[in-house]
């Protein structure tokens, strides 16, 4: 079951990337930077729901699929994939180390904090890679800040759409809530 879910999430990642570029073309600053980036939500979702190993694997496979979409050097593409995997992983592990507990998925405070840290890490990792490789994405001085904003917007919009979907399905009879435990 984990393998099937990993593959579904891996295919969903490049699909969301392509859809994002089409839906939010007005918000694109470059081929790699958008002010609204929905796949940012999927990167976090993968890690938070599937765990660090399976979640990273889903993002990695999705990134490899997406590698064929871009016409860029293979080294740059692979480093972009590594950066995409590292951002949410560092945010989650940093949270666990700092607070000495896992992220509570029902806590808006936890989710907001890890989302902000992820957005900062993702932007810093990508822009450091581009700087080290001398890539043209750094020509625009605001692209790092734009990526941070895009990841935040995408993660928040994705979370809202996910929550709205769950609410709709629950109204249709699906139950995603665990039954409450009897008090002793």
At 169 the pLDDT is: 82
For the chain, how many residues are written?
184
What is d(CA 183, CA 110) in angstroms, rounded to the nearest whole number? 26
Between 140 and 138, the more confident residue is 140
**What's this model's pTM, rounded to 2 decimal places?**
0.83
pLDDT at site 182: 42
- pLDDT digit string, tens, across residues 91-101: 999 999 999 99
**Tokens read off for 26:** 């007005």
Alpha carbons 101 and 37: distance in angstroms, whole number: 29
Q: How do residues 31-44 score in pLDDT, each as one tens digit?
A: 778 899 989 999 99
* pLDDT over 70 (residue 154): yes
Hey, what are 9's tokens?
């999430």
For the record, the structure tokens of 90 come out as: 């560092």
| Domains contained in the chain, CATH given | 2-169 (1.10.1760.20)
Residue with tokens 């000495």: 100
Contacts of 129 (CB under 8 A, 6+ apart): 76, 79, 80, 83, 135
């Amino acid at each position: 079951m984990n393998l099937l879910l990993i593959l579904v999430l891996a295919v969903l990642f490049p699909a969301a990337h392509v859809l994002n570029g089409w839906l939010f073309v007005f918000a694109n600053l470059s081929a790699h930077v958008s002010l609204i980036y929905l796949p940012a939500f999927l990167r976090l979702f993968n890690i938070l729901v599937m765990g660090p190993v399976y979640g990273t694997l889903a993002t990695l496979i999705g990134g490899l699929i997406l590698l064929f979409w871009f016409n860029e050097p293979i080294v740059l593409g692979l480093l972009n994939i590594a950066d995409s995997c590292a951002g949410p992983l560092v945010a989650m592990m940093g949270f666990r180390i700092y607070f000495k507990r896992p992220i509570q998925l029902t806590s808006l405070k936890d989710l907001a904090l890890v989302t902000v840290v992820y957005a900062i890490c993702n932007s810093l990792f990508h822009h450091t890679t581009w700087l080290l490789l001398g890539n043209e994405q750094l020509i625009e001085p605001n692209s790092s800040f734009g990526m941070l904003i895009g990841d935040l917007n995408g993660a928040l919009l994705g979370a809202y759409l996910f929550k709205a979907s769950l609410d709709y399905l629950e109204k249709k009879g699906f139950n995603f809530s665990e039954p409450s435990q009897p008090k002793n």
